[in-house]
Every structure is written in structure tokens, then in C-alpha cells.
Chain A
């Protein structure tokens, strides 16, 4: 037994594990049966998915992403990522979306690749990577799959062209990974904080700070959406597809970004479906911001920060335009270099605090759970935008649509666009659909054509009574 393990070892022990950074620890502490801290990237491809081809594509992609070889282990003071010899297997989708990936005491990879009909899904545990980080892997997987599935497309291109194509492809999807070709596990798995410049390091502190309770609305009546939980804790997913142009036109009319517009719509829908309140009510939304756009990091690890937008109803004239403008101002303020810098400097000492470091891990977990609890009390809704996805040509033509969703402890939506299509996927731990219904109707009333898909969550729905 001992001999075979020795033979399997490729690297000295010290290169095979790395401490999980502070920021990712919150996902472990905040994880529970409902909020699994798993997110899902999906693509609808031309024709039904061929599992054998997908497996081949996965094997090839997996080889290049050392970070994805990690399993999560527990130390006395920290969690750590350890390189494993496990190999991923593509599976037919048989569980609800964003089902638990990390199980206490089980040595498993921190992601899975699933397929169902014409869809390919990548589900990732958030302690491993964030949406943008995982998108790199997903894009490579799709490119690999589609070029294996449709070799004729490549066959038609002459050899010179095909070489150029290969190179071009590498460039276009190499944003975060392939430029560096990290072959060393420790390097790949290193916290984003260590891979970036000094500024990036500071940003990491800023990132951490966002997990402290939100000052905004602390004394206010922050609305919390309540409802009946799904019978077996599964996520209730409602997926909307719409032409990106139509929604973009609406947001331009309000002179705000797509993110702000849809967030404002979400808040409006929540306000309109909430029980009447005698006192002014504040609805807050947590909106993650990708820090790679501010700092020169190519990390595949978590590297985002969360901003909090808040709107109080019943104080002024509450129109959608006003909500939009308020959010626009708040977001600008929160991501301005000044506000960033101030927060960073304040928090620099906190990160290196030796007292915080020698607190044992179970206690750290408890502390983070408490912080998370108070954080949750100050957050009504959440959203996340992964922006626009593009795959290298000609592969891009074989991807019909791309979807993005995440496990959530409160109603949340995730948006992502590809080509002409925008998809918005709501996830919620509740059976009720009032907010989503209101949101959709506000869009259709404004002339947007929407297609809806949803998973079945109750006994009645599954038995076909509904």
C-alpha cells in the first residue's frame, strides 16, 4: 500500500497542498443544506450531448487545470487544498441543480460536469473558484467538446488555417489560465491575493471586509423575504431567456447598465409583492464585483468583492427610474478608487493579525457563521452578473445559449449573455414564485419576449397535478 502511493507521488509533499485563503473560508462556514455554495454554468449546445465525447473533452481540459485537481481538507487552524489523484467523470443530471459538492469528511473533487439532453453543466464549489474563474474552465471544456463532436468543421479548414485557428483559440480563451500554464499545483491553487501585485493584495483585504455586517440600513427596517422552504431543500430554479437587445434598450432609456436595471426591477418586484408595511422599508441587494477588472490578476481562485445596494421605500416618490438612479450612484461610490483605497488601508492590519491566525479552525468557523448570520439579516436579495460570454469561432456557432445560476439562501438571480440572448436564472429556497412572476410581467408589459423554464420542486408539481 505504502509503496504504490510513493510511486504515485509526482511532487514533493510541500508542493501538494496549500492553505485555503481567508476569503474562501466564509463559503465553508456559511454552507448548509439549502445554501450549498455551489454555482452552475450551463450551455445549450447544438444536438444532444454525447457523454463519451464530453468525457474525452473533460479529461483533456482537466489536465490543464491543476487547481481543479484539489480536494478540501481540514487542518487545525485552516482548511487546505490538497492535490489529489482523483479523476472526474461526466454524469447524467439526476440531482436538483447546485446540489451539495463538498461533504464533510469525504475526499471528493470540488466540481462536477453534468449533462442532460442538449445541455452541459459545470457545477463548482465556491471555495474553489468564483464565476469568472470557473468560466475559463467551462469555455475550454465547451471548446474541446465541440471540436471533438464536430471534427468536420475543423476538417474543412486547411492545415495552415487550422493551425492559425488553434493559436487564435488559445488566445481568446486564455484570459485567466493558459497564459501562465500553471503546472505547479501550489502556484495554481495559491490564493488570488498572493498571485497579484501589491495593490491586488490590498484589494484582498477589501474583499474580506465586505463580509462584515453592512453599515447600510443597519438601523433601518431591512426587508427579508420569507416563504415555504422546498420539501427536500432543493433550489427552486426559474430560468428566463430573452433577447438582449430588447432589455438593453430598456436600460438605456433609464441611462443605467443592464445589471442596475434588472436589479432595480427585482427590487421593485419584491416591493410590489411584499406585505404592506406601516414604516418605510429598505430592500437591500448584494451584488458581487469582479476584482480582476481593477487589479492585474489572472487567478482562477476567488477574486471578487460584494457591494451592497439599498433602497428605502416610502421616503420619496418611488419610481423604477428613481431606484435605478439610486443604485447607479451607490455602485459608483462603492467601486470608486477612493472608497476602495480607504477600505484597504483600514483593513490591512486586520489580515495580518496574529491573534486571528492562531484561532483554531472550528472556532473560526463559528465566528464566520455568526458574521454570516448578521450579514444575512441585512440582505434581502442577491444578484450576480457574469457578463457576456464568447467562444472562439467556429465553436461559438454551436453554442445556442449559456446559463448561470447559484445556490441561494434568499431569492437571487444570475445573468449571463451569449450572442443575441440574455438568460436570467432565479434561484430561491422557497416554493413561492410571486417575486419572479412580478419581475417577468414587468418585462413582458414593456414588450420584452420571455421564455420560461423551471424545475419542479413540490410533490404536486412532480406528480403532474400542476
Chain B
């Protein structure tokens, strides 16, 4: 073992200097003692990562402001581009965060994308295409996607059944749009509603018991 004459301690492991005071160590024996802590390479260097992220963010902001200032007429396009990038980050975030439960991931995507569409449509003036087409199509597509995904991915019933139910119920939202009279074209909404009706019957008949169990568990006060 090596020794630090300043701290008056023995030091284990492969150290050239004292881990406490940084003074050079005296070598007492030829072979050093085994290091009880394996050398683990840094996973990342926080300072460095933060520096890069800051730099890139600042650069993007600078470019945006310059473009916005000189090409004012095209600011709308740039807003769309930014919107696109934001959606990309959102989708990526959802996929990464929810990668372990595909049913949950689909529900999160369904909600976040629907809200994004609503926002975009609203920011362009009137709410028409999002409620008539985008949201009903996202709803029915999600339901179909979930149905197929659950056949392919191995997931326990308890883990997905509530999300399947949630996606099914979400499919009835276009009915509200229809009722209020927001939707211009009723067909996409009708498809979504009928798919949800069929799925609701299927889910309740097949997994009714499990849904009850899960609700008791998750709603325990």
C-alpha cells in the first residue's frame, strides 16, 4: 500500500497522489494494493454538454432572429419550420420516454399530436381542417395501430388495457365536434366513432374484469 505522509494515511488502489490532499504518495511496497473501486469512465461531462447545448441553442436563435429581421415577409414560413422542429422534438420525447409501453406511447402521441394540430389550425385563423380531418384520422389510426401493435409486441394485459380503453374513449371526441357543428366533413368523424364503438364492446367483453382490477389498483386512495 502507498502512504501519504501529510495526511498520515495508507492509500489503497492505483493513486499517484493522495486522494485527500493531492500530495505525492510514498511507495512502500513494490506492488500496489488492488483498487476496491473500479475505474469507471465518465458517462458524460456535464460542463462540456451544457456548453455545447448552449452554443447550439444560441446559434439557432441568432439565425432565426436574423432571418426574421431581414425577410419579414416570410416570417410565416419560418414559424411553420419552427413548429415542425418542435413537433419533431415532441414526438421524439414521447417515443423515448414511453418506449417500454407501446400502448401508453400511442395514447401520449394521440393526445399531443391532436393538440398540436388544434393549435396550428387555430393559429392560422379558423378551426376547420383539424377537427374535420386531422384529429378524427389520428384517432382512428391510433386505435388501429394499437390493435396491431398489441398483437405484435408482448405486453401484459394489465399494462395496456387502460390505455387501450383510453384510446377507445378518445375516439369519441370527434362526436363532440360533430355535435357542435365544427366538422365540415362528417365522414372521418363517423369512421372514428364507429371504430371506437366496436373497440369499446370488444375491450369491455374481453378485458372487463382486468379493467376493474387495474382501476381499483390505480385509483386506490
A232 to B42, CA, bound (A): 6
Closest to B43 in A: A232
CB distance from A34 to the nearest CB of B (A): 10
Contact yes or no, B36 A239, CB < 8 A: yes
A104 to B10, CA, bound (A): 41
CB distance from B45 to the nearest CB of A (A): 4
Contact yes or no, B45 A451, CB < 8 A: no
Which residues of B are found within 8 Å of A440, using beta-carbon distances?
7, 9, 20
| A453: interface (CB < 8 Å) | yes
A17 to B214, CA, bound (A): 11
Which residues of B are found within 8 Å of A44, using beta-carbon distances?
36
A449 to B216, CA, bound (A): 58
Interface centre among B21, B97, B216, B217 (most CB of A within 10 A): B217
Number of B residues contacting the other chain (C-beta, 8 Å)? 48
Contact yes or no, A451 B20, CB < 8 A: no
Per-residue contact bits, chain A 55-81, to B (CB 8 Å; 1 contact, 0 not): 000000000000000000011111010
Contact yes or no, B218 A444, CB < 8 A: no
A234 to B17, CA, bound (A): 21
Which residues of A are found within 8 Å of B43, using beta-carbon distances?
232, 234
Chain B, 1-27, CB within 8 A of any chain A CB: 1, 4, 7-22
Contact yes or no, B10 A451, CB < 8 A: yes
| B100: interface (CB < 8 Å) | yes
A105 and B218 in contact, given A450-B9, A452-B10 (Cβ under 8 angstroms): no
Closest to B150 in A: A1
Chain B, 159-206, CB within 8 A of any chain A CB: none
Contact yes or no, A232 B36, CB < 8 A: no
Chain A, 1-43, CB within 8 A of any chain B CB: 1-2, 5, 13-14, 17, 19
State which of B36, B217, B218 has its C-beta within 8 Å of the C-beta of A117.
B36
State which of A2, A106, A357, A455 has its C-beta within 8 Å of the C-beta of B37.
A455
Closest to A107 in B: B100
Chain B, 37-81, CB within 8 A of any chain A CB: 37-48
Contact yes or no, B39 A466, CB < 8 A: no
Which residues of B are found within 8 Å of A116, using beta-carbon distances?
36-38
State which of A239, A358, A436 has its C-beta within 8 Å of the C-beta of B221.
A358
Which residues of A are found within 8 Å of B220, using beta-carbon distances?
19, 75, 77-78, 80
Contact yes or no, A466 B12, CB < 8 A: no
Closest to B217 in A: A17
Contact yes or no, B218 A75, CB < 8 A: yes
CB distance from A24 to the nearest CB of B (A): 15
A433 and B36 in contact, given A76-B218, A451-B1, A454-B13 (Cβ under 8 angstroms): no
Contact yes or no, A229 B46, CB < 8 A: yes
Contact yes or no, A105 B100, CB < 8 A: yes
| A456: interface (CB < 8 Å) | yes
A94 and B40 in contact, given A19-B220, A451-B9 (Cβ under 8 angstroms): yes
A44 to B43, CA, bound (A): 27
Which residues of B are found within 8 Å of A441, using beta-carbon distances?
7-8
Contact yes or no, A453 B154, CB < 8 A: no
Closest to B45 in A: A231
Closest to B48 in A: A231
Contact yes or no, B219 A455, CB < 8 A: no
A68 to B193, CA, bound (A): 45
CB distance from A153 to the nearest CB of B (A): 24
A459 and B42 in contact, given A358-B221, A433-B19 (Cβ under 8 angstroms): yes
Which residues of B are found within 8 Å of A358, using beta-carbon distances?
221
A444 to B7, CA, bound (A): 7
A237 to B1, CA, bound (A): 19
State which of B36, B41, B219 has its C-beta within 8 Å of the C-beta of A462.
B41
Contact yes or no, B221 A459, CB < 8 A: no
| A134: interface (CB < 8 Å) | no
Contact yes or no, B98 A437, CB < 8 A: no
Which residues of B are found within 8 Å of A444, using beta-carbon distances?
7-9
Which residues of A are found within 8 Å of B97, using beta-carbon distances?
104-105
Which residues of B are found within 8 Å of A94, using beta-carbon distances?
38, 40
Contact yes or no, B101 A105, CB < 8 A: yes
Contact yes or no, B37 A453, CB < 8 A: yes
A466 to B11, CA, bound (A): 14
| B157: interface (CB < 8 Å) | yes
Closest to A95 in B: B40
Contact yes or no, A232 B37, CB < 8 A: no
Chain A, 109-156, CB within 8 A of any chain B CB: 116-119
| A161: interface (CB < 8 Å) | no
A452 to B10, CA, bound (A): 6
| A238: interface (CB < 8 Å) | yes
Which residues of A are found within 8 Å of B9, using beta-carbon distances?
440, 444, 450-452
The 9 closest A-B pairs by CB, nearest first: A454-B19, A455-B37, A453-B12, A75-B218, A437-B20, A444-B8, A451-B10, A232-B43, A231-B45
Given contacts A452-B12, A464-B16, 13 further A-B contacts (CB under 8 A): A13-B217, A17-B217, A433-B20, A441-B8, A444-B8, A444-B9, A451-B9, A452-B4, A452-B7, A452-B10, A454-B20, A455-B40, A456-B37
Residues of B within 8 A of A (CB): 1, 4, 7-22, 34-48, 97-98, 100-101, 154-157, 213, 216-221
A sample of 30 inter-chain contacts (CB < 8 A) reads A1-B154, A5-B157, A19-B220, A76-B218, A80-B217, A95-B40, A229-B46, A231-B46, A232-B42, A232-B43, A232-B45, A234-B40, A237-B37, A437-B7, A437-B20, A437-B21, A441-B7, A441-B8, A444-B9, A450-B9, A451-B1, A451-B12, A452-B9, A452-B20, A453-B11, A453-B13, A453-B35, A454-B19, A454-B20, A466-B22
